[in-house]
């Protein structure tokens, strides 16, 4: 990575490395080198869980263990980490093997999430626990501020499944009908076949999961479980 690119990424992260080898290692996927970010990812995963647990413990003084665990899971899950990675445009800076790069690895949720954890481990190795904790809390500031102890509403896929189960009907069947676009701008077309509806519901989104949720939402509307 050239110095200009590195400086831009460090500005986005809000942290400038004293030893840039930690940054380079955090951005190196196992497909590119035997000297990769997997060990840093292991360390960063533990650090992330601790920092978020501490932040939640401090903020929600009356919360029970189960409530704190639910909130922590929401914040440290792969989907959230991938969102953070995209906010930093991490995909533009990853070092991937040729095959992984050609298959769109720089936009894959699992790789992006692992890289965020590796960066947390790298920051710890480059500095100390206090600095690492401060950095993670800064990245999560808006998400932490938006949290409440109220149970999250169920997504459309869960609601549709429960609706069908209560009636003893088969579960919905989701199928990817088509994929299009470049790796950084994929478009998934998904169908959702539901008992009680004559035709499958079709939806499109940039990833399979979101397309399935949209199709489930349309199914719930046709079943009269959501307002149209």
In contact, 154 and 180? CB cutoff 8 Å:
no
Asked if 92 is an active-site residue, the reply is no
Catalytic residue among 41, 100, 114, 117: 117
Q: Please, which residues bridge with residue 191 across strands?
A: 175, 202
**From residue 1, how far is each of 7, 88, 93, 114, 117 by CA, in Å?**
10, 16, 8, 19, 20
Q: Are 106 and 94 in contact (CB under 8 A)?
A: yes
Selecting among 45, 126, 212, 218, the annotated active-site residue is 45
- Told to judge if 41 belongs to the known catalytic residues of this protein, a careful annotator would answer no
Q: What string of H, E and C letters represents the secondary structure of 31-48? A: CCCCCCCHHHHHHHHHHH
The alpha helices in 88-207, defined as continuous H runs, are 98-102, 109-126, 129-139, 141-146, 156-166
Positions annotated as catalytic residues are 45, 117
């Amino acid at each position: 990575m050239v110095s200009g690119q590195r400086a831009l990424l460090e500005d986005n992260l809000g942290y400038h490395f004293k030893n840039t080898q930690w940054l380079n290692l955090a951005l190196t996927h196992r497909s590119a080198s035997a000297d990769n970010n997997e060990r840093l990812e292991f360390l960063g995963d533990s650090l992330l869980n601790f920092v978020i647990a501490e932040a939640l413990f401090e903020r929600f003084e009356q919360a029970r263990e189960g409530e704190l665990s639910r909130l922590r899971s929401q914040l440290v899950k792969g989907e959230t980490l991938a969102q953070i990675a995209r906010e930093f445009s991490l995909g533009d800076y990853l070092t991937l093997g040729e095959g992984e790069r050609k298959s769109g690895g720089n936009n894959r949720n699992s790789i992006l999430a692992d890289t965020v954890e590796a960066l947390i481990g790298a920051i710890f190795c480059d500095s100390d626990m206090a600095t690492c904790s401060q950095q993670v809390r800064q990245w999560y500031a808006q998400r932490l501020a938006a949290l409440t102890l109220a149970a999250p509403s169920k997504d459309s896929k869960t609601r549709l499944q429960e609706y069908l189960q209560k009636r003893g009907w088969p579960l919905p069947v989701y199928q990817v009908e088509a994929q299009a676009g470049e790796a950084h701008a994929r478009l998934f077309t998904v169908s959702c076949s539901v008992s009680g509806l004559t035709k499958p519901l079709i939806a499109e989104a940039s990833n399979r999961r979101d397309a399935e949720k949209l199709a489930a939402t349309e199914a719930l509307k046709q079943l009269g479980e959501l307002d149209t």
